[in-house]
A and B are shown apart, each in its own frame.
Chain A
Amino acid sequence: MKIGIIGNSHVAALKLGLAEAMKSNNHVSSADITFFAIPGLRFGSFDVRDGKLKSDNRDALKMLKRTSGGHDHIDPKGFDLFILHGLELQFVYRMVRNKFVSAQAADLCMPDIFRSTLSFSVYQKLLTITDSPIMLSPCPMKADNAPHRGLFTTPMSNPVIDYDRFVRALERQLERDIDGVIPQPAASRTPNLTTKTEFSEGSARLLRPSRIHEDDDFCHMNSDYGTLWWHELENKLDDILATAS
């Protein structure tokens, strides 16, 4: 199975967790995985041309080559599955922090929020050039020890709006039955709609020692998180392969 993982900086954790994950996940270990990762929002510069995703942005192309092993565009031919990871798609903190929003209202609000993300923009473009399944994988939630409590980790004002509701709302926005959502692994989440601190700590060691993130990065995760994420994908692949067969 050939899998293309398209995403931004959050892909780093997946890349670093892959080796460990391959030891215990059959589908993942046998898959041919290509990463197409570009930091930030530069994937917005990609358009569909000649049935491929291409960009004229030099920075974006440079980074794509670096992360994909030399590709300067994304050609969907031959890929059995695409996964869009990160790319602004995240739990709807902004909608529900510091104010009450009812579950009914939230269900009406979430589609517009999703559709304004880079993830959905890329999803829409991919839909026009591939018949293979596309799975959306949200950014991990902020680490539980994030200091920006007013921004990211304000206790949610509505007990009904939880992660599962977010995922269900996301699934309803998918345009084909073959597409799906890879939720953040349950084992990495806290009841506060954050990520357990242990999955954020240590991510700094991924960098060159002289350029560590110090302690101020609470949105990117470490290789342990990546490994957990591959387990989640393994379960999804069971379903996908069962459907395909």
Chain B
Amino acid sequence: MTHPYTSLPEKAFWKPAVADQSPFDIDELWQPKFAVNPESAVVTFGSCFAQHIGRALSARGYNWLITEQAPETLPADRIKDFNYEVFSCRTGNIYTASLLEQWVDWAMGNRHIPNEVWQQDSRYIDPFRPRIEPNGFETADELMCARNYTVRRFKRAIKKADVFVFTLGLTESWFNIPGLHRAGKRYEYPMCPGTIAGTFSDEQHKFINQPFQDILKRLRSAIDKMRKMNPALKFILTVSPVPLTATASGNHVLTATMESKSILRAVAGQLARNHDHIDYFPSYEIINAAPFQGMFFETNKRNVTAQGVNFVMDQFFKAQTRTFGTPGEVTPLEAARKKPKEKAKPAKTEEAADDVVCEEELLAAFGDKP
């Protein structure tokens, strides 16, 4: 007698696929829909965990596309302080689907970029990227120039990428609400005003714990808009395994975390099921599932260890290799030889060329003889 389960592969059964395995041998957690080759231009945005994906791609010689490069001579140990090479451009963390859509709308010119800035002592903090610049900007004008520039680089990332990796982080969000704040439409902050900087206002700022349907709608909308700019763009969604730092939902932070992550996981799953150009990579499960017994968390039970990140990314590259036969890894030497597409060229200065061209002028000024 046969039934549908008799023909299923081993990975479909808990005992052989999980219970009988060492956690490190649990395999085939992901069946990628499309190939990510070392040549594919991959951009990464989203919640904190997305930062690891970009670095892992880069370390393995993949083409992590960075559209907002650090200035050439910025000291290497300060690059991260200025949030270069954290995501593909300096958006800062994009925790929610609605915040992603906000950035997409700014890039497309669909939505006005608010002119709100937060002043702290004599410095200026960007409400949409509160930690983007150490100690904030010198002036509000400088801040706005910086923000507008990043919006343009974000647009470039969308247009130039082959694959857009987005890590969903939160359902809880903070908005500036137009009904309460007369000017302009509502917009979203990545952080509650007043926590890192700014001033919280009961009248102006509203907490919304976004439900499944809203997040699904916003994420689908953001993806559709990006595909209008770049019809070939593919998406890999992940859910950050990092628990909430705090919740404003009124629930215990642990249950709020589980609810939030479950909703995000369901949204990502639903989109991936319904669209060929959207895939879901289970980094969340690899870190959080019970068989891994929390071994990939640091002692604060929140931050993911380097070992955990490596394990997750190994799964990513192994799955790609298994499915498409593409090189999952390149040697460090090969990685060093590869040049990221938009790295600034260490060009010789133009002034030297000018001088060579014009050297006769000097001699003429002094006449022909000593």
Instruction: Give the B-binding residues of A (Cβ under 8 A).
Output: 8-13, 15-16, 35, 37, 39-41, 63, 65-70, 86, 88, 90, 94-95, 99-106, 108-113, 139, 151-152, 157-160, 203, 206-208, 211, 213, 217, 219-220
Contacts and interface: CB of A to CB of B under 8 A. Distances in A.
A105 B363 contact: no
Contact of A99 (B149, B349, B354, B361): B149
A39 B75 contact: no
Interface stretch (B21-29, B136-144, B254-262, B278-286): B136-144
B82 A105 contact: yes
A41 to B, nearest CB: 6
Nearest 6 A/B pairs, CB to CB: A39-B359, A12-B365, A100-B149, A112-B73, A9-B362, A109-B73
Interface in B280-336: none
A12 B361 contact: yes
B369 interface: yes
A10 B356 CA distance: 11
Interface of B: 68-75, 78, 82, 133-135, 137-139, 141-142, 145-146, 149-150, 347, 349-352, 354-366, 369-370
Contacts of A16: 365
Nearest to A203: B361
Contacts of A15: 365-366
A164 B218 CA distance: 47
Contacts, number: 143
A32 to B, nearest CB: 17
Contacts of A106: 71
A155 to B, nearest CB: 11
B312 to A, nearest CB: 32
A207 B145 contact: no
B107 to A, nearest CB: 15
B355 A9 contact: yes
8 contacts: A39-B363, A99-B68, A99-B69, A100-B149, A100-B150, A104-B134, A104-B135, A104-B137
